Amino acid sequence: MQHVLVTGGAGYIGSHACKALQAAGFIPVTFDNLSTGWSDAVKFGPFEQGDLSDRAALDAVFARYQPVAVMHFAALSQVGESMQDPGKYWRHNVMGSLTLIEAAVAAGCQNFVFSSTCATYGDQDNVVLDEDSAQLPINAYGASKRAIEDILRNFGASHGLTHVIFRYFNVAGSDPGGEIGEYHQPETHLIPLMLDAIAGKRPALTVFGTDYDTPDGTCIRDYVHVCDLVDAHILGLKWLQDGRGNRIFNLGSGEGFSVREVIDHSRAVTNRDVPVVEGARRAGDCTKLVSGSVRAMTELGWTPERSTLGVMIGDAWRWHQNGHYDK
């Protein structure tokens, strides 16, 4: 069986990718420093604890497992933090990714699947964003991801590194089987924060900004189920193995929901009230981000089957009630 190196494989999306890789017949090798990931989430293949800044550790992992591809999820991803400390994001995200890419090329591992983000597009209202939309990031998180995309293009031209880049929108939900789920410390994502408030684990959900130019004044986002998302990564890996070349794909449901709409859906799914307080806007937050994912659907054959709010919140709620990780 072929190995795939999964950076950030102990994290939310990376752990779901490892499960999908195992189901697809690969052996996922998790490389994670556990700064935000959880050792209990590593269930589907070998675990190598290390940091992307450690070239020697990366070289050793490439030599030991000889992976046929890299799936790169490891990154700092808090928009607010990136506005306050941009240098941290350039050091960790960009320099760490550069070290990883150089190690992959040196080891002859020429297939690279990269977890990018819709944050590279910035704040472009009243448009559906597709892969040709201008990249105008308004925070260091989005800017760092755009820079890594540029590095991949450079190494594609100079060293023949083939890559698939996925720019995805708001990821939600959890493994329907309950083996793994979404759990961050500190928690920053809307749906788990909302479920914490419903369960009484926090006093209330804070809605950051109610004066946006949207129908109800709150931000609009496109949500995609984590299992649909990682299914696309398996398709992207096979795309590269079939020799189909470099490609960028957006991943989203193509439908936007406001914060208030997500709250309303959660009431219907959980049959519980959501305590809410209103707060000021957060720096770096866009008004509306909605994906055009036609390319992924037509070229990859991807279908976001679980990416409805009801399913995403329902899966997340089951995990929230039953699952947890310990460092």
User: Angle 140-159/96-106 helices, nearest 10 degrees?
Assistant: 20
Report, in angstroms and rounded to the nearest whole number, the Rg of the chain calculated over CA atoms: 19
Beta partners for 114?
72, 165
User: Angle 96-106/55-65 helices, nearest 10 degrees?
Assistant: 40
Active-site residue, from 12, 141, 183, 223: 141
Give the C-alpha separation, 122 to 287, whole Å: 10
Beta partners for 111?
162
Active site residue 141: yes
Give the C-alpha separation, 115 to 112, whole Å: 10
158-184 in b/e form (b: 16+ CB < 10 A) is: eeebbbbbbbbbbbbbbbeeeebbbbb
In contact, 100 and 72? CB cutoff 8 Å: yes
- Beta-carbon contacts of 148 under 8 Å, excluding residues fewer than 6 positions away, are 93, 94, 97, 98, 114, 116
Short-list 92, 111, 165, CA closest to 135: 165
Give the C-alpha separation, 244 to 236, whole Å: 10
Give the C-alpha separation, 237 to 150, whole Å: 20
Enzyme catalytic residues: 141
